Structure 1
Amino acid sequence: MPASASRKQRWIAAVNREGWLPNDGSRLCSTHFISGKQVKNPWSPDYVPSVFDAISPSQETKQTSAFECSDKQQAQVEAATALLYLQGQVVDPDLHLDQDKAESMSSLSSSDSEQPSDSRALSGTDDDASDPVNYEEELRALKEENQALKESVEKMSLTEVSLRNDPAKVRFYTGLPNYFVFETVMWLLSPHMKGDKTVKLSKFQQLLLTLMRLRLDLKNQDLAYRFGVQVSTVTRTVHSVVNIMSTTLVPTTVFWPSREELRKNLPSAFRSSYPDCAVIMDCFRVALEKTDWPDASFHHCGSNTLKYLIGVAPQGVVTFVSKGSPGHVSDKDLAEGCGFLNKLLAGDVVLADRRFDVGESVVARGACLKITGVSEDDREVPEEDPLADASLERMWVRRHVERVIATVKQRYAILTGPVESPFTAMDHTANMTTFDKIVQGLELSTDESQDGMA
């Protein structure tokens, strides 16, 4: 029984049982309500029980379940409610809605100043006839709101449509200049990627996830949440796509330009001082997550960094990247052991920092090593001294190489380290680590502009 005294009296009147007064434990069967249950909304037909057919208690028990599940009865409720709303009939003898109900609802409507039209309809006045609800207008507004929500969700999502129409989004998440380049990479990799029903991610998602991992250095758990997969799926996907990129893209991007091309496009700053420059040689380091290499062959090193040798053409294009070596390896040993010197031809000029004591090895191949960079002696040269120009040239070359390396690292945050241990696991079939593949692929795919080279 309801707690409200006025509503309780209306229930007693509806039951209409002579001499019956309910107590706190009294209950009313659900079959006495149109929908099969009481409703607390004063405007609902089931605010007060109204179904009292002359049936026996046993019949009433048998019909309870069928009554509650009947689609026909639900339709009756909806029809009755719609009729009340459209016609403004709040006092209906068949539903036992007496004057007390109308008065209570009138008081509610008068206190709710934000819904005057509903108050007029429920109080039974004729004002609603002069101010009908414009359902077509409401429907149009809902459609516009729905479309706006769809567009908002699309902008926040990582789908092919959202990337295709937003070059800035492509650059931010992948490091690629536009969606056309992304599609080209996708076209090259797609034949080698898994795309059957057993794979939870589409080929588009696999490539996008991997590039986001490299570009933003996002954690695997973060990517798992974004793409709705397990962390193990993210790990497998990244390693799989990196291996495919290494075997498919890197061989086509390793390009050591011909000497004719180098001289034809040589920046003006090199023409006077280094007209036969073929390559600028340098090294960079990446920190490791752990101090020991996971592979047994490197356990004796105790190094906490990886060291890479990089070759840069005068035009600013990366033409060579070595495999990673322990950080304590000298620049000379790295240069002589990574295969870089085998690229040189007779007459080539190689520019390098004074740390590279490889002059004899370079001369043995008919080339020439010239030292760049700023030394203590360079800093002491007066500006008016003729040697000052040479010092500035060496400084400029050094900064040029540093700029190329910094550009790639800024574009792909994973290159700034620290490198997680799973990436340093050795792939013995390729004789290189997964991170070596990442470095070679990202360094050699740089599109470093040539502004500032002229």
Structure 2
Amino acid sequence: MTLHEVVSPQQQNRKSKAPTLQMETRCYEAELLLHEHNYSKRLLTVKEQLQVTEKELKRQVLKCEQFFLQRIQCEPEMILFYTGFKDYNTLKAFYLALQPTPETLGSCSHMLQLNNTDDDTVNAGFHTARLCLFDQLFLFLCFVRRGFLPIDVSTQLLVSEEVVQMTWITWCHYLFFMLGPLPIWLSRRSVNELMPPFFRTTFAKTRVVLHLTEIQVQLPTSTVNSSHHKGSTTLKSLIGITPSGSISFVSSFYTAAVSDQDAVRESGILNILEPGDVVMTDKSLEIEDLDVIGVDLVSLNFSGANKLLNEDNVSQTDFDHLKIHMERAISRIKEYHIFDDVVPSVLHSSVNQLWTVCALLTNFQGPLS
């Protein structure tokens, strides 16, 4: 029996267009040759061969539809939308600088062991099937930037939601390990060199703008009780932003029961400010301990406008410019939409790392224009 007796004309046309089908046909030829001397095996019918071919075509189509970085690498607008990086080359440079290696993985695992964290959380995600490490980083960035759901990604990748979640948590811990030690607190000289012109003419001694942000986190089922009847809790973190717009300070999260004053005090920001610095806030955040260390406080909330305009000779235009500039800087971290709604309980134990990573990622966007 020859190949043409079992393959239809339609299949012959498909075979000439799809390299994968050519390989499929060669497999059939090999199988037929084996059957010439083994009559105990049944030849595949035309219907059965069509079913195999259809299954292979479906697999190829699904693979083409998967959401991988390669599909949008030539579209800077899409890269910026999904990752926060301005283009593919910038994202690739970031990955090459931080890509996992046996040395960094070993150091990361050792650090987690010292902190009584299960190092399997870090190692397991890197072995996700069907994904190279660069695509894993890309999907993590999509997760935090656009708030992707595990079920959506698992459908595209043809893997379980648990595998997707493990990958995200792995990259969260790894990026925290790599980015966390970076010296983001700028010296007085560096702040002055990068300071926008309108800051120089208004509050030239501004060292940092402080902003207290709140998020909602879903509690694990085992911790939900009568005091958390909705199964979520409010956490708040203090972030510091330089006049140029870079994140220079990120605190851990504190529960809503901790007062703003205590959150500032426990964050450690008071230990790194220097006499003569000016601290600016975007809302009524009173910090009683600043006078003790010789630091002045300026508020940019609307209720403080008269003080700025009258006592500091700041024009209304300058004041509006300052406020808009700081709102833009603060909005950078809020563009990570994973924090828009309640953060899922699976990330409850990693929320500090997740918040810090997202805050530090904004520094790769460059200064505010």
Q: Indicate whether the TM-score tops 0.5.
A: yes
1:444 aligns with 2:360: yes
**CA-to-aligned-CA distance 1:39-91 (integer Å, 9 cap, x gap):** xxxxxxxxxxxxxxxxxxxxxxxxxxx8x9689xx9xxxxxxxxxxxxxxxxx
**CA-to-aligned-CA distance 1:421-454 (integer Å, 9 cap, x gap):** 12122xxxxxxxx1221211111221456556xx
Going from structure 1 to structure 2, the CA distance change for 1:171 and 1:271 (only over 3 Å counts) comes to closer
Match of 1:408 in 2: 333
Matched residues in 2 for 1:445 and 1:196: separation?
A: 20
User: Is the contact made by 1:303 and 1:328 (CA closer than 8 Å) also made in structure 2?
Assistant: no
Matched residues in 1 for 2:208 and 2:222: separation?
A: 31
Equivalent of residue 94 in structure 2, options 174, 185, 188: 185
Match of 1:281 in 2: 210
User: Is the contact made by 2:179 and 2:360 (CA closer than 8 Å) also made in structure 1?
Assistant: no
Going from structure 1 to structure 2, the CA distance change for 1:228 and 1:390 (only over 3 Å counts) comes to same
- Larger helix percent: 2
User: Is the contact made by 1:173 and 1:216 (CA closer than 8 Å) also made in structure 2?
Assistant: yes
Equivalent position amino acid for 1:190 in 2: P
Unaligned runs of 5+ in 1: 1-34, 37-65, 75-149, 426-433
Match of 1:205 in 2: 135
Matched residues in 2 for 1:70 and 1:277: separation?
A: 82
With the length of structure 2 as denominator, give the TM-score of the two structures: 0.67
Residues 253-332 of structure 1 mapped to structure 2, 5 A cutoff: 254-290=183-219, 294=223, 304-332=233-261
Equivalent of residue 369 in structure 1, options 289, 297, 301: 297
Matched residues in 1 for 2:169 and 2:125: separation?
A: 18
Q: Which has the higher contact order (CA 8 A, sep 6+)?
A: 2
Equivalent position amino acid for 1:436 in 2: N
Match of 1:26 in 2: none
Equivalent position amino acid for 1:255 in 2: I
Matched residues in 2 for 1:197 and 1:251: separation?
A: 22
User: Is the contact made by 1:378 and 1:388 (CA closer than 8 Å) also made in structure 2?
Assistant: no
Q: CA deviation at 1:397?
A: 3.3
Going from structure 1 to structure 2, the CA distance change for 1:371 and 1:196 (only over 3 Å counts) comes to closer
Matched residues in 2 for 1:377 and 1:167: separation?
A: 39
With the length of structure 1 as denominator, give the TM-score of the two structures: 0.56
Residues 227-242 of structure 1 mapped to structure 2, 5 A cutoff: 227-242=157-172
**CA-to-aligned-CA distance 1:1-56 (integer Å, 9 cap, x gap):** xxxxxxxxxxxxxxxxxxxxxxxxxxxxxxxxxx89xxxxxxxxxxxxxxxxxxxx
Equivalent of residue 216 in structure 1, options 140, 143, 146: 146
Q: CA deviation at 1:180?
A: 1.8
Unaligned runs of 5+ in 2: 7-38, 47-59, 106-121
Q: CA deviation at 1:313?
A: 0.6
Matched residues in 2 for 1:362 and 1:317: separation?
A: 22
RMSD of the TM alignment (CA)? Answer: 4.1
Q: CA deviation at 1:230?
A: 0.7
Equivalent of residue 169 in structure 1, options 70, 78, 90: 78
Going from structure 1 to structure 2, the CA distance change for 1:214 and 1:70 (only over 3 Å counts) comes to closer
Matched residues in 2 for 1:400 and 1:196: separation?
A: 39
Match of 1:54 in 2: none
User: Is the contact made by 1:308 and 1:321 (CA closer than 8 Å) also made in structure 2?
Assistant: yes
Equivalent of residue 421 in structure 1, options 345, 349, 353: 345
User: Is the contact made by 1:374 and 1:395 (CA closer than 8 Å) also made in structure 2?
Assistant: no
**Aligned with 1:288: secondary structure?**
strand
Q: CA deviation at 1:218?
A: 1.3
Q: CA deviation at 1:186?
A: 2.5
Matched residues in 2 for 1:391 and 1:292: separation?
A: 51
User: Is the contact made by 1:189 and 1:245 (CA closer than 8 Å) also made in structure 2?
Assistant: no
**CA-to-aligned-CA distance 1:201-220 (integer Å, 9 cap, x gap):** 33223222212211211111
1:435 aligns with 2:351: yes
**CA-to-aligned-CA distance 1:367-389 (integer Å, 9 cap, x gap):** 2223332117839x9x9x78884
**Aligned with 1:257: secondary structure?**
coil
User: Is the contact made by 2:136 and 2:167 (CA closer than 8 Å) also made in structure 1?
Assistant: yes
**Aligned with 2:297: secondary structure?**
strand
Equivalent position amino acid for 2:159 in 1: V
**CA-to-aligned-CA distance 1:322-369 (integer Å, 9 cap, x gap):** 11112343322211111111121122111125632224x223223222
Equivalent position amino acid for 1:175 in 2: G
Matched residues in 2 for 1:281 and 1:234: separation?
A: 35
Matched residues in 1 for 2:184 and 2:81: separation?
A: 27
Matched residues in 1 for 2:342 and 2:206: separation?
A: 34
Match of 1:250 in 2: 180
Matched residues in 2 for 1:293 and 1:400: separation?
A: 43
User: Is the contact made by 1:215 and 1:414 (CA closer than 8 Å) also made in structure 2?
Assistant: yes
% same residue: 23
Going from structure 1 to structure 2, the CA distance change for 1:444 and 1:272 (only over 3 Å counts) comes to same
Q: CA deviation at 1:242?
A: 0.5
Equivalent position amino acid for 1:364 in 2: V
